[in-house]
């Protein structure tokens, strides 16, 4: 049966480290700790005093000062690994952790999983061929020597780099190695760890190479595992669940993320907020629990984005530059169809186009592929359309040589609705209210990535009220905005009532509006 030796690199929060160590070792697993020599000495003393009597805890024989992007992080890891190999001969796996990590499965589940999967878990992608590195240095990490820290010694870091580049002081990658790159959060079998330590002792040339490589914790173990282990024994993934924001920063988890974390196909998660005390308590007790059944859905990234978007819309400090541009024109009429079911709105505007010959444009601010004329590039991406919304709309009026135009928008685009309704042009809104069955909402959740084929029914049942309430909330926000010319048609209303709203919205005769309202299967899914 699997026995895990956790390799913990940490530099702060001694109380949390003590709790983490006690939780992981309570079930018979082990932990080897390297506490940054740069950190508070009193904090290390507190950790050592609290855990020194625990036979399942050991400490790196040597502590060093660690810096992001430096070789010191790899060296500290090796010190902790060496201590673990020596202290825990029964350990079958070695799992890299940070102080911000916590278990999201039971030890029972983790041990069974590792027993079933006889493999090393580590991301390892071809350094040169993959696009793992999105920005910044790539080949330069390897072919030049980096003696300084880019974050704390920026000036001299780049002086050294530029001098080497100017003088052509490139170096070669060790010929027998294919450099790999990936996440530093790995789980390796004992025989792999022992092979790495043997390799380290024998290949001083490789150690010299990586010791002056920039951000070697993303390449060192990743490269050596590929070099030493058959490919069919490597799972190219991490067992630690982590996400990154749109700004490239690690996502932080809070108390309300418990269910989300447990449903992911990972053993640990990072980063848990220091303030998420309830989450830490629940996850801390989870590891020693027995007989827990986990329903794996794995839609964490989509769910997180969906849930964290609620109620966190920022307010603009000043008007956007395009909002200071001239009006669409007093003589023009912008007719906006607002509907959550895009296919219903598209069906409706198609009939409007047939009956009135008014130019109609579908969800130009929501769908990249919306059919638009060439406007000199301003229409090329959703981002540009949003940024230059008024310029784009004026150009479309000019293109169609019309003073009237119909556009479709999603109810979530309240900022767009507010902007256009403040314009000097005449703006009218037609909100199309549809009914939403549970089956439709489930299909919607799958289409937008909130659920998948493997999502348990219990998760869907918890998710459906949130989605339904979100739709109602969007409609309420539009109503609360009190737009001057706000009309509605409803799926449950009569054809005559909907025709009256359409006649006012389009300023057309009642008979013409009735033809549109009578459209076959207008609200059908």
Task: Report domain extents, the chain.
Answer: 4-296, 321-517
**pLDDT of the residue at 324:** 42
| CA-based radius of gyration for the chain | 30
Helix (H, G, I), strand (E, B) or coil at 285: helix
407 burial class (0-12, 13-18, 19+ CB within 10 angstroms)? buried
Taking each continuous run of H as one helix and of E as one strand, the counts in the chain are 20, 17
Euclidean distance between CA atoms 345 and 338, whole angstroms: 8
Domain boundaries 4-296, corresponding CATH code = 3.90.550
Asked, colleague to colleague, whether 4-296 and 321-517 share their fold, the answer is: no
How far is the C-alpha of 371 from the C-alpha of 363, rounded, in Å? 9
Non-local (6+) Cβ contacts of 52 within 8 A are none
d(CA 327, CA 324): 9
Could you give the count of Cα atoms lying within 13 Å of 472 in the half-sphere of its Cβ?
7
Fold of 321-517: Rossmann fold (3.40.50)
Residue-wise DSSP of 385-425: HHHTHHHHHHHHHHHHT-SEEEEEE-TT-HHHHHHHHTSSS
pLDDT along the chain (525 residues), means of 10: 95 91 96 94 95 97 93 97 98 94 95 95 93 80 92 88 93 94 95 97 96 95 97 95 65 84 92 86 92 82 57 34 56 93 93 90 91 80 86 86 92 90 90 89 76 76 81 88 92 94 94 92 88
Task: Let me know: does 430 contact 513? Beta carbons within 8 Å.
Answer: no
The CA distance from 32 to 39, in Å, is 17
């Amino acid at each position: 049966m699997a026995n895990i030796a956790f390799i913990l690199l940490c530099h702060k929060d001694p109380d949390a480290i003590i709790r983490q160590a006690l939780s992981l070792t309570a079930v018979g697993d082990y932990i080897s700790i390297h506490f940054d020599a740069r950190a508070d000495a009193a904090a290390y003393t507190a950790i050592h005093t609290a855990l020194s009597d625990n036979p399942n805890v050991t400490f790196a024989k040597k502590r060093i000062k660690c810096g992001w992007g430096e070789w010191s992080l790899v060296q500290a890891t090796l010190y902790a690994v060496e201590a673990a190999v020596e202290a825990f001969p029964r350990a079958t796996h070695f799992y890299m952790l940070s102080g911000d990590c916590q278990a999201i499965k039971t030890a029972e589940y983790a041990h069974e999983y590792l027993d079933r999967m006889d493999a090393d878990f580590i991301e390892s992608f071809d350094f040169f061929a993959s696009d793992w590195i999105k920005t910044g240095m790539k080949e330069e990490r390897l072919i030049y020597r980096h003696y300084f820290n880019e974050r704390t010694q920026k000036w001299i870091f780049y002086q050294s780099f530029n001098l080497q580049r100017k003088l052509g002081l490139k170096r070669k990658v060790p010929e027998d190695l294919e450099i790999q790159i990936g996440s530093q959060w790995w789980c390796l079998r004992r025989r792999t760890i022992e092979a790495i330590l043997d390799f380290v002792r024998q290949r001083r040339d490789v150690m010299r190479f990586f010791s002056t490589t920039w951000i070697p914790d993303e390449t060192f173990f990743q490269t050596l595992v590929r070099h030493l282990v058959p490919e069919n024994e490597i799972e190219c993934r991490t067992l630690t669940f982590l996400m990154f924001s749109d700004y490239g920063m690690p996502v932080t988890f809070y108390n309300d993320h418990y269910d989300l974390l447990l449903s992911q196909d990972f053993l640990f998660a990072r980063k848990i907020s220091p303030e998420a005390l309830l989450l830490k308590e629940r996850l801390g007790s989870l590891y020693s629990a027995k007989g827990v059944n986990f329903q794996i859905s794995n839609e964490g990234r989509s769910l997180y984005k969906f849930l964290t978007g609620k109620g966190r819309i920022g307010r603009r400090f000043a008007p956007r530059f395009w909002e200071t541009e001239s009006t669409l024109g007093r003589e023009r009429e912008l007719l906006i169809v607002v509907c959550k079911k895009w296919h219903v709105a598209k069906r409706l505007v198609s009939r409007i186009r047939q009956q009135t010959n008014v130019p109609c444009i579908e969800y130009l601010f929501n769908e990249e592929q919306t059919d638009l004329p060439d406007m000199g590039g301003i229409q090329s991406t959703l981002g540009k359309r949003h940024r230059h919304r008024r310029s784009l709309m004026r150009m479309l009026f000019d293109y169609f040589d019309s003073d009237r135009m119909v556009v479709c928008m999603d109810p979530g685009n309240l900022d767009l609705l507010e902007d256009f309704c403040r314009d000097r042009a005449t703006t009218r809104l037609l909100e199309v209210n549809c009914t939403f069955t549970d089956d439709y909402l489930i299909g919607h959740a799958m289409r937008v990535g909130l659920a998948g084929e493997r999502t348990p029914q219990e998760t869907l049942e918890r998710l459906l009220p949130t989605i339904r309430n979100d739709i109602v909330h969007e409609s309420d926000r539009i109503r609360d905005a009190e737009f001057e010319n706000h009309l509605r048609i409803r799926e449950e209303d009569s054809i005559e009532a909907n025709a009256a709203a359409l006649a006012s919205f389009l300023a057309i005769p009642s008979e013409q509006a009735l033809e549109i309202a009578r459209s076959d299967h207008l609200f059908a899914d």
